[in-house]
Structure 1
């Protein structure tokens, strides 16, 4: 059953009024947060809901962060020739609305968490309830800072509600200091939150989610710009905590496709999908929070509302398509749609039309829409135009396995048996070898590799497995190869166009400039111009 967050008026007004994004605004706002409001478990849960709701905001996973900020990096490109400005083609400025709104919503979420944590000690409720709510709020605050630090670098570190205008100007803290606070918050949360045995869905922060995200945070700290290689050991530790959990056994869904069908159909498989952003509803009433998952980043469909209207704003790059191995078709053809929708007249009645699937020619691999999130799999009807109830994955067990394999290889400078076991679980599922009746289950296992070869295949496997989950750009940056890789895509487009002078490659031709535009300054987004004008202690990122 979908977990429906219902936010009370008091929590909306009070929490939004003290959102940390607003500490940079000069005009104080009226707020409703009577001291008695936080004295009931119901109201504390409502306040926590306000923190959670940040995740589904249109400026975060509800839209912009998923499709507008280039987080898919070398995996996709904007499939429209009319788009001439923005982060997606890397020619934006510090005044870009998408960048500014991301900063705003993340600090608003932090502000909501800060206010809840500030008020929580005075609440007259059971201590175990207070401790669990504290854990969730701490983790979410840490997660919002994690998104901020990887996007903007040095950012203001605010850990208490901003109650007076005099405290609105706050200096930036270094990435190392921000990461230290993230670790502190998340480690404290790990012992306070629910376990997956306590809940039956992935919409709430659980111990497995905290541990898996801690592993991700540690891998980021081990890479650029912090370069604390001791964190590979910590990443390995947190992955093992998930992998070896005896109270709740995680495992991969045998069918890769089913993971994303479940996201579309409000089905939970917490053994695989550990943490998700909850979306629900079809805009038919006031109760719901829809996103654009599958609507903007799905298979284009202008014809059939029963399947689900989708704008198909993005296509997979041919560069990404070509990293799939020859037999990895089950996973490739799910992630990169081998067809598009078209409309054809009824043979008996030309006034009626049918929607059909038109399959691409094998060589047409620069024109393929993203297929991971498919509106035809939705079961909630009627379907809204473009908006969807499809949940968005924030942590999957396959990610934990791949993070473990990476950390193990980096820690020992060679792949161990445990590293091979982890990556081969992911590969066996990819090639259908976990399904009932599968034979030669180890046919596609990797073995006998040196450190560099294993590193390369882990990096490729992360893309093949986790594409279009807002992870790729961060991976490329922490590995120190973001700019190089983006230029390689531009080279690939130009080479393919030279080799195959057909219309199939023309949709990619106008995006060459976008990949060429990428430079070292794009490793970080600019500090929003509005924030610089409001907080004189802020300093702009290099070259912006």
Structure 2
């Protein structure tokens, strides 16, 4: 198995110095024109653009915290046992504001990724190198810029739309906001440019962008555009058509076992379409330690944080017989450790913990480098089922939903008798149960303006829905995150 070994030495990160969302030390500035002269420089630039996909999932500045936790706490379906991390508790309690660390992280990481992608798109065309390699590098940069902007626009709404690298302080300070529709137009344009690149392979097992990864993200973008806030109803067909291309390529399939979702032997293949690539010698993360139950002495990992745990009522919302909630599938409530003072003894937690990201290698080595899923085939199947239902359900839409249900243990279900609205909610329920704790649920809540009610198994309106973990109601102002304070201090026009 090959892995991308991302260059995290910062050489590309210092090509431009600026303030605010691309905050760098001005002393590190040197002219990009002096750097981009060789094929190796092109690959280094692309690797730098990839590297920011990792940063959403790596530790932030506060104790037992990482930016992607934000999306789970907002849903109300996650809790923490770490009292010291105020960012976690602010999102659980819906009491965050524009100086929250996670908000700043999401904004900054995304714009660093945009900037790194823009460097590739501006300077790599001028390098004398193999044209196929060059075109693949450019396609990867288009995909990555679209990915970073997709995160930005869903979380913050209107935002600066940068299609050139930031190479002076003034252009960073004076950047103007673009409308959400303008940002989505660039996202679609970038993904189409990547999709139409002949040098991009259909699949890639090294972790690089593939043509089917582009199609998968494009289907997801179209589905989002069909929902709120744009409500471009015609985009449901575009989403269905693009997801169908991925399905009918026959290049991906659901794993026959849930355990393969977090088995390193199956990274970047099977059900995994695109992942954040972690590698022990390059960059690790703490997701394994952070999602272990709190101080149960079941791991050789030094700290067992209990930083991200499932809300028990959500865990209990799965139907009887659902394999995903069986022990050591998506969750676990007990474990027999292989080392430490409890070696060989079954330890019962008294509450569920998340198992779908459990890193068995970390249990043996304490080195945490399991890839994190960004796009997987189960998501594509559910995108197709939902989108096709909106334009006239077909047998393939029902089959796509059934594949998810059958793996979960529900064989022989028939959806023919469901109305459009009943089928829609059936798909939404599966998205909650299948894609939980993968940074998908909050984005679904934003685009549908609905939230899963674990008691009724139906969907509440977003505004007024009572979050499980806090007991507080979601409000309209929760639909967007505030632009970070230090950005609006520099440029007050960025306030949303």
TM-score after normalising by structure 2: 0.88
Write the distance in 1 (CA, Å) between the matches of 2:412 and 2:433. 18
Q: In 2 relative to 1, CA 379–473 (structure 1 residues): closer, same or farther, beyond 3 Å?
A: closer
> What residue number does 1:529 align with?
485
Q: In 2 relative to 1, CA 54–339 (structure 1 residues): closer, same or farther, beyond 3 Å?
A: same
| Aligned pairs (5 A) from 1:377-526 | 377-378=360-361, 381-384=364-367, 388-412=368-392, 415-431=393-409, 442-482=411-451, 484=461, 488-490=465-467, 511=469, 514-516=470-472, 518-526=474-482
Q: Which has more radius of gyration?
A: 1
1:302 CA drift (Å): 4.5
Write the distance in 1 (CA, Å) between the matches of 2:22 and 2:183. 19
> What residue number does 1:3 align with?
3
Write the distance in 2 (CA, Å) between the matches of 1:355 and 1:88. 35
For residues 394-427 of structure 1, give each alpha carbon's deviation from its aligned partner in whole angstroms, at most 9, with x where no partner exists.
Answer: 1111111110000011122xx3212111110111
> What residue number does 1:369 align with?
353
Write the distance in 2 (CA, Å) between the matches of 1:317 and 1:517. 16
Q: Tell me which moved more, 312-321 or 451-460.
A: 312-321
Q: Which residue among 302, 314, 317 is the counterpart of 1:323?
A: 317
CA contact (8 A) 2:74 2:94 kept: no
Q: In 2 relative to 1, CA 445–356 (structure 1 residues): closer, same or farther, beyond 3 Å?
A: farther
Q: In 2 relative to 1, CA 257–444 (structure 1 residues): closer, same or farther, beyond 3 Å?
A: farther
1:337 CA drift (Å): 2.8
| Aligned pairs (5 A) from 1:249-288 | 249-260=251-262, 262=263, 265-268=264-267, 270-281=269-280, 287-288=281-282
Root-mean-square deviation over aligned CA pairs? 3.0
> What residue number does 1:178 align with?
183
For residues 40-86 of structure 1, give each alpha carbon's deviation from its aligned partner in whole angstroms, at most 9, with x where no partner exists.
Answer: 22221111110000011256698633213446614322234666642
Q: In 2 relative to 1, CA 159–309 (structure 1 residues): closer, same or farther, beyond 3 Å?
A: same
Q: Which residue among 308, 313, 320 is the counterpart of 2:307?
A: 313
TM-score after normalising by structure 1: 0.80
CA contact (8 A) 1:213 1:395 kept: yes
For residues 115-163 of structure 1, give each alpha carbon's deviation from its aligned partner in whole angstroms, at most 9, with x where no partner exists.
Answer: 1211112100121111110000011001100000001010000100122
Write the distance in 1 (CA, Å) between the matches of 2:32 and 2:19. 22
Q: Tell me which moved more, 229-238 or 32-41.
A: 32-41
| Unpaired runs of at least 5, structure 2 | 452-459
Q: In 2 relative to 1, CA 224–489 (structure 1 residues): closer, same or farther, beyond 3 Å?
A: same
Write the distance in 1 (CA, Å) between the matches of 2:151 and 2:260. 28
| Aligned pairs (5 A) from 1:34-49 | 35=33, 37-49=35-47
Matched, 1:79 2:81: yes
Instruction: Report the secondary structure of 1:275's partner residue.
Output: strand
Write the distance in 1 (CA, Å) between the matches of 2:44 and 2:306. 36
Q: In 2 relative to 1, CA 94–72 (structure 1 residues): closer, same or farther, beyond 3 Å?
A: closer
CA contact (8 A) 1:74 1:320 kept: no
Instruction: Report the secondary structure of 2:343's partner residue.
Output: strand
Write the distance in 1 (CA, Å) between the matches of 2:38 and 2:339. 61
Instruction: Report the secondary structure of 1:369's partner residue.
Output: strand
CA contact (8 A) 1:486 1:516 kept: no
CA contact (8 A) 2:324 2:330 kept: no
Write the distance in 2 (CA, Å) between the matches of 1:267 and 1:216. 23
For residues 196-249 of structure 1, give each alpha carbon's deviation from its aligned partner in whole angstroms, at most 9, with x where no partner exists.
Answer: 45x333x2111111100111111111111111111101101110110112xx52
1:4 CA drift (Å): 3.9
Write the distance in 1 (CA, Å) between the matches of 2:246 and 2:211. 9
| Aligned pairs (5 A) from 1:147-186 | 147-168=151-172, 169-186=174-191
Write the distance in 2 (CA, Å) between the matches of 1:331 and 1:344. 23
Q: Which residue among 10, 13, 16 is the counterpart of 1:15?
A: 13
CA contact (8 A) 1:235 1:407 kept: yes
Write the distance in 2 (CA, Å) between the matches of 1:186 and 1:231. 15
Write the distance in 2 (CA, Å) between the matches of 1:83 and 1:517. 22
1:250 CA drift (Å): 1.7
For residues 256-292 of structure 1, give each alpha carbon's deviation from its aligned partner in whole angstroms, at most 9, with x where no partner exists.
Answer: 22222x2xx35335231111111121xxxxx321122
1:458 CA drift (Å): 0.3
| Unpaired runs of at least 5, structure 1 | 282-286, 347-351, 434-441, 494-510
Write the distance in 2 (CA, Å) between the matches of 1:345 and 1:180. 53
Write the distance in 2 (CA, Å) between the matches of 1:117 and 1:345. 49
Write the distance in 1 (CA, Å) between the matches of 2:74 and 2:346. 26
Q: In 2 relative to 1, CA 37–345 (structure 1 residues): closer, same or farther, beyond 3 Å?
A: closer
CA contact (8 A) 2:153 2:159 kept: yes
1:380 CA drift (Å): 7.8
Q: In 2 relative to 1, CA 21–335 (structure 1 residues): closer, same or farther, beyond 3 Å?
A: farther
Write the distance in 2 (CA, Å) between the matches of 1:65 and 1:8. 19
1:329 CA drift (Å): 3.1
> What residue number does 1:357 align with?
346
> What residue number does 2:455 align with?
none
Matched, 1:205 2:209: yes
